Amino acid sequence: MSTGYKRAILKISGEMLKDKFGGEAIAIGAVRVFCEAIRDLHGGGFELGIVVGGGNIFRGATANEMFKCDRVSADYVGMLATTINSMLVADGLAKLGVAATVFSSMPMPDICETYYPRHAQRDIAAGKVLLLAGGTGRAFFSTDSAAALRASELNADVVVKVTKVDGVYDRDPQKYSDAKKFDRIFFREVLAQRLAVMDSTAFSLCMDNNIPLVIVSGEENWKNIGRALRGEAVGTTIFSD
């Protein structure tokens, strides 16, 4: 059983920053609550890099499927959406007195830093929260892949993916009432059972670099992130043999 993690990459769905009632793409109240949770985690001594998805604003894969947008163009628009979310979160953290740097894989020097692993390493070691925007900087890769890649580059102890589901199940818990939740499971077992966790690129990066992956729910509140980082039994932990 893990005794906790020091440096973490958090993968947050952009949908969690959305107005759940009014339909607005971004709810400032939701951003504020998230930033308050990050402030508390940062104050607890955790080193944090955050990858926020852009699905609340624009989802490239959906645009490609539904509106026949060019896949490459749609993916780049989605990367821009992640930068918008990252900038808003960084601004919210600044208002709470938390130093944060937005690093984008897509160079935008007038508004944020261009991502270089060495510069990001410097800032996270100095106690700054990293907002890792722009995905991988390339089409055909998800923000899950970006989170796993940044975790590998920045020597993170864990990737925490915050979703609407409280862990990994042997089948869809929304369809099957008898679905079994795993508290801990090996990467190889997830592959053997073909369980839906992350896209294959992201999953392989975590597995190949021996980075544990914790899946937790953020639907009720953000406290599950802290519980996961402290090594408490929450969600599902996926790890190497």
- Domains along the chain with CATH numbers: 7-239 (3.40.1160.10)
Q: Are 202 and 208 in contact (CB under 8 A)?
A: no
Per-residue confidence of the chain (241 residues) as pLDDT tens digits?
456 899 999 999 988 888 766 577 888 888 999 999 999 999 999 999 999 999 888 876 666 666 677 888 888 999 999 999 999 999 999 999 999 999 999 999 999 999 999 999 999 999 999 999 999 999 999 999 999 999 999 999 999 999 888 899 988 888 888 899 999 999 999 988 888 788 889 999 999 999 999 999 886 678 899 999 998 989 999 998 7
Q: What is the pLDDT of residue 74?
A: 87
Q: How far apart are CA 116 and CA 119, in angstroms?
A: 5
Q: What is the pLDDT of residue 1?
A: 45
Q: What is the pLDDT of residue 56?
A: 87
Q: What is the pLDDT of residue 60?
A: 65
Q: What is the pLDDT of residue 25?
A: 84
Write the burial class of residue 21 (CB in 10 Å: 0-12 exposed, 13-18 middle, 19+ buried). exposed
Q: How far apart are CA 54 and CA 106, in angstroms?
A: 14
Q: How far apart are CA 107 and CA 45, in angstroms?
A: 30
Q: What is the pLDDT of residue 66?
A: 65
Q: Are 105 and 134 in contact (CB under 8 A)?
A: yes
